[in-house]
Chain A
Amino acid sequence: MDRPTRFALVLVGLLAVSAFVGVSSASSLTTIDDDHGLVDPATIDEYDESGVATADVGTPQMTLTVAESSSDVGVSGLLRFDMATQYLRIQYNETLDRGVRVFIPAEYWHPVSAELEAENPESDTTATMRPTDDGRYTAVTVAFDGREDAVFALPKQTEFVFWSRDRSREVINETVGYQPPRLATGGEWEYIDPSELTANETVPIEADGGVTIQQDDSDPATDESNWIGVPQCSRSSDAVCTYEVDGNPNTEYLLTQSSDPPAVRYKTSTDPTERGWAIIRDLESIPDRVWSDFAGILGG
């Protein structure tokens, strides 16, 4: 084997090794947010008294339960200790695959950032929890593959860590007047469906205090998504790009440069953690793009 051949093989091997699958989530998201019964003061009072609260959501059909005892959410077992755990049960009663986002008020637990797998064996879904911008809720996002009953156990230690962190930040701010920076900010994603976008359309996005904008780079044939950053229009001819207008620093503009733009999501805060993940997902996608182009050349 001559040297150039060996070199080409090494290159292909390296690209193949790095072609692992990106982080994914459900592509369509139903945002219930705070439009459910668990935010009612009467329900919160009921939880304070009995340690369990339940609320039905009309659309989509689902039931939410917050409980301090595992037996109230149907996952009790001999080796389960409830002293340091709270539970969230989501019973999704529709056959349609769907991503759901719901806000759980801070009266139940201090807003946390966590990825939790379902505790009950019949469910294999994962809940992503993030504090909302105003600190009043934990935004819980779950992707359901049809009808599903999922129970998530939230360790109180996690809650305590986030409470301590937020309280320390408040004390520092009150004492010396300095607001320590946050590595990961809260905030909820707002989604722009591709069907709402046309070619050469400009969408103004409020960017007071920063904005994080991402596009879904995944294959439309799959129901998974791959959120990566949106490039600046000055250096890109991608399907979507962003630009700023002089004299208007509080608005970022999203421009579509294709008649078939991808889904776009954004949140009105600068989130370094999410930007970092977007870069990693972008790097992970490069071998697929190279292979796609390579296959296109070979296929004519």
Chain B
Amino acid sequence: MNLPTSFRGLIALLAVVLFLVIIVYASTLGTVVAGGLFLVVVAYLVYLVGYRIDKVLKHGSWR
């Protein structure tokens, strides 16, 4: 099995790994649900920031 090479794939893989950690170590179901939602939001924000940085590096502009 190969690791994903794209930026989006790496973020998704990391989020899945962290979610599995939360499932194993959370005390209550509420923590699992809240942790999962938190990961989705953080992963999306990381993706947005990474996308803009990638644009700057490649094209010298935010847009």
Contact = CB atoms under 8 A, between A and B. Distances in A.
- What 8 pairs across the A-B complex have the smallest Cβ distances? A229-B28, A282-B31, A286-B25, A279-B34, A289-B25, A231-B28, A279-B31, A282-B27
A14 B22 CA distance: 13
A286 B29 contact: no
B49 interface: no
A289 B21 CA distance: 10
Interface residues of A, number: 26
Given A10-B14, A14-B14, A279 B25 contact: no
Contact of A229 (B10, B25, B30, B38): B30
Contact of A279 (B13, B14, B17, B30): B30
Nearest to A283: B35
Contacts, number: 58
B45 interface: no
Contact of B34 (A15, A238, A283): A283
Interface string A274-286: 0100111011001
Nearest to A289: B25
A231 B25 CA distance: 12
B57 interface: no
A14 B30 CA distance: 22
A231 B29 contact: yes
Nearest to B30: A279
Which of A232, A238, A283 has the largest number of chain B CB atoms within 10 A? A283
Given A4-B3, A229-B31, A283-B34, A11 B17 contact: yes
Interface in A251-298: 275, 278-280, 282-283, 286, 289-290
Contacts of A280: 34
A290 B21 CA distance: 8
Interface string B1-30: 001000000100110011001100111111
A231 B30 CA distance: 9
Contact of A238 (B13, B22, B27, B38): B27
Interface string A1-30: 001100100110011000000000000000
6 contacts: A7-B10, A228-B31, A231-B27, A231-B28, A236-B27, A279-B34
Given A7-B14, A283-B26, 5 more contacts: A3-B3, A228-B31, A231-B27, A232-B28, A280-B34
B26 to A, nearest CB: 6
A229 B3 contact: no
